[in-house]
Structure 1
């Protein structure tokens, strides 16, 4: 009898990543007009005024309410944004070093050109200067973090093919794709 493959049975791909934002309109506008995302849909409010569905299904306060937007970023990434209102809601974004800390990284052709563009966007803060990793398994990677107007951390990077780690494994990171907008709808 063969051993089952580890992992979730039938898993195919990551469907989406999701972030909670303080202002859904602002975040959707930013992702469309600054990052280049495509809005797929918006729904809401999602709430349960008398029951406990929000707690059972989403692990939030039972009186929480949310509005949701789904966006497409490039050829393979779906991004879901939530704007919640809830009793006792914490309104502080985690730092990268906090539990639950996070950032979204976007591969670009030219990190310096991306930084020049991002510095021209009102409310965006580029953290430091672009860095190039000179040693180790990802030597050649060039990157810099930036912060959106509402405080979400993001990164632009260029990780060229032929990275040092590739000599030790046949596994490869996905990308880069030909162009951010080169997808042709919803490939399945």
Structure 2
């Protein structure tokens, strides 16, 4: 087989295969670990408005299964996990673990592994008032974005255990939607 033909065939195959994960259709769930699963359940059901779906556990392993499959200490015990349906999706898989040497501090956004969950709301001011009525720590006042995110307002808040969450709203869209090469996903999609 001529070398040129093999090279050209590979190029054609690469062009025919779209980049990324084959069959990707969206985000199924977001999983995170909390220090107290009952406290997290109350918060996500009573304050955020998620619906409890089901629970599993406990899980432990005498071998290396936990380390090999979950990247946790081999003697870690996943006491329980609970699944919640979040309005507008995705679902949440919330864990409570016992594990030797585990870190108990919440990462900040600036830390490696730092993160936050952002909830889209149609009325940011009403949502902030709701959080405050429930005694939730809201970080500052809502901020109006500029640049490509113009049209958006947002504010961070903390769960009782210090996890960072965000409210975001852009009921009339964001400036980046005008002529952008890719339109960002929106809950209304």
- What's the CA shift for 1:120? 1.4
Aligned residues: 174
3-state SS, counterpart of residue 71 of structure 1: strand
Asked if residue 36 in structure 1 is aligned to residue 22 in structure 2, the reply is no
- Rg larger in structure: 2
Structure 1 runs (4+) deviating above 3 angstroms are: none
Instruction: Name the structure 1 match of 2:91.
Output: 78
Please give the TM-score of this superposition, normalised by the length of structure 2. 0.87
CA distance in 2, matches of 1:12, 1:175: 15
Instruction: Name the structure 2 match of 1:58.
Output: 70
Unaligned runs of 5+ in 2: 1-11
Q: Residues 56-96 of structure 1: CA distance to partner in whole angstroms, max 9, x if unpaired?
A: 00000011011111111013311110111001111111011
CA distance in 1, matches of 2:29, 2:168: 20
3-state SS, counterpart of residue 59 of structure 2: strand
Aligned residues: CA RMSD? 1.4
CA distance in 2, matches of 1:171, 1:162: 11
Instruction: Please identify which structure carries the higher helix content.
Output: 2
CA distance in 1, matches of 2:75, 2:173: 51
